[in-house]
Every structure is written in structure tokens, then in C-alpha cells.
Amino acid sequence: MVFTSEVSIGVHRSPMEALDVALSRLQTSLEVPRRPTKVLIKPSIYDPRLVGNTHVSVVKAVLNAFKTLGPAVIVESDNPRRRAIDAFQQSGYNSLFNPDVSLVNLSELDTTVVKMPGNFFKEHKMPTILTEEHFFINVPTVKLEPDICTIGGGIKNLFGLIPEVEKSVYHQRIDDVLMDLLAVFRPQMTIVDLTSLVIGDRIEEVTKEIGAIVVGADPVAVDAFCADLLGIDAIAVSHLRRAYELGLGEIVLDRIRVSGTATQKQKLLEACKH
């Protein structure tokens, strides 16, 4: 079998250990900057009052794993439910702040007009920080979003890079918007927080402890793998199928190498059944 992409899994008691295991099992060499650079980290903090946000302990583990690359900037944008600064505070992210780690609200930064492929945007004003040299790590969670895009994962988390507060105006053509964002702001690494899994609607606040981290350099393959964990065929997820058709990543599971022990693979698969 010829593999075109790879994801790696780690299942452990702590996010730090799970991430270390997942990164150590990657067989594909990770392309990291040869000189110090800014590390951009994009967690998923839609609403701190709900479940399904990227846990601060996972971001702490990411900071530890990539601390040698350079100073880290954790980014989020405002939305109608909360300001980014409040999301950081209520989710415990302020504890991460130090001289080498900053918390930044993308909605308050200067913007630059960025040319895009034209699936939806021909060009759009985006935070200038996103156009500067950096190593971009996307740290999403995975949850069902049937009313928006079937499943939310790494690609959907890029939606939060848009600086406008009111982003729902883009929901009707969200697949097109996501393709533009993925093409221009493709992360170098996607690290999925699967320490817990939302069961049902987020407002019901039901979660299941999983204790896993999934990593990969191909954001499309990572999302396809996570969709499969939830029993969803990636082909049936319109934005994943679209990304595959545009050559932005792999969704055929037989072409995605899954690095990890057989025991951990089975443990993760069984844990995600609900």
C-alpha cells in the first residue's frame, strides 16, 4: 500500500504524555524552521461556557513540545458569544502567559488585504500577523456540527482566523470559505485535542473521556481520520470531499498511514464509539 499522508495517535493519562507519544511515532519528518521563528497556535474556544473547547492542558503540552522553535502566540478572534480576551480568561489560558507566550485577539489586530483562490474570497482583509513568517499549529477539537458542516475539526477551526465578529454571514457558503482559508493559511501541524469527546449537542454538556491526541501534517487527512472515528465517511463531509478534489489533502483512509500501536488504535476506536 502506498501512503500519501500520515496521522499519529497517542493515548495516555495526560495530554503531555499523549502528545509526546504521538509526535515520537510520526514516520514522516516534520518540516520545522531552521532558525527561530514565531509559533502561531490556534485553539478552538467557541464558547467557554460550553463543552468541546480545546483544553488549556493540551495547549500547554503543545507549547512544551515546540518551545525550541521560538516565541509562541496563541490566537483567537471575537464572535457574537464572547470576546477572545474573555474566552482566554475563562478557559484558563491566562495561566500560559509568560515572556515567551502571548495571547492575541485577531479581531483587534491590524489587517492586510490577502489574495485568495476565489472559491468565496478573491481577497479579504486578514490579520497581518497571519501573513508574517511563522510556524502554524492548529489545535482543534472534534465535534458534530450537523447544522453547519457535519463535523467540526481542524479545517473548521480555521474559520476562527477571520477577524470579523459576525462570521455567521459566511455559513451559507462555508465550504467555499474554508477552502480559501485552507489554501492560504494551511497549518504546518494539526494537533487534535481528543482528551474528551462531546456526546450529542454541546448545550447538554455530556462528554466522554478519551485521553487521546491525534497529530498530522496533512490537515485534511487528520480530519478524515477523526471523522472515521465518529463513524462518519469523509466522502460524505462536503468540505472534506471538496478539499480532496482540490488537491489540498487526503481523505481515502487506505492511503493514510496511522502510526501507533495496534492496542492504542483499537483503544481509541472503541473509546470513540457512543
Please tell me the least confidently modeled range out of 63-77, 167-181, 199-213. 199-213
What whole-number distance in Å separates Cα of residue 191 and Cα of residue 193?
7
Residue whose cell numbers read 462531546? 198
What whole-number distance in Å separates Cα of residue 142 and Cα of residue 159?
14
What whole-number distance in Å separates Cα of residue 15 and Cα of residue 8?
14
Per-residue confidence at 149, pLDDT binned at 50, 70, 90? low
DSSP secondary structure code for residue 252 in this structure: -
The domains located in the chain, with CATH, are 5-271 (3.40.50.11440)
| H/E stretch holding 20 | helix 15-25
Q: Residue 147's pLDDT is what?
A: 67
DSSP secondary structure code for residue 6 in this structure: E
> Does residue 4 or residue 207 have the better pLDDT?
4
Q: What are phi and psi of 128, to 5 degrees?
A: -60, -30
Q: Is 57 exposed, middle or buried (0-12, 13-18, 19+ CB in 10 A)?
A: middle
Per-residue confidence at 13, pLDDT binned at 50, 70, 90? confident
Mean pLDDT, rounded, for 262-270: 89
Report pTM: 0.96
**pLDDT digits over 82-136, tens only?**
999 999 999 999 999 999 999 999 999 999 999 999 999 999 999 999 999 999 9
Mean pLDDT, rounded, for 214-222: 98
| H/E stretch holding 158 | none
Q: Which residues pair with 214 in a beta bridge?
A: 9, 192
Please tell me the least confidently modeled range out of 116-125, 181-190, 214-223, 229-238. 229-238
Per-residue confidence at 274, pLDDT binned at 50, 70, 90? low
Please check the confidence at residue 204 and state whether its pLDDT lies above 80.
Answer: no
Mean pLDDT of the chain: 94
Q: Residue 203's pLDDT is what?
A: 75
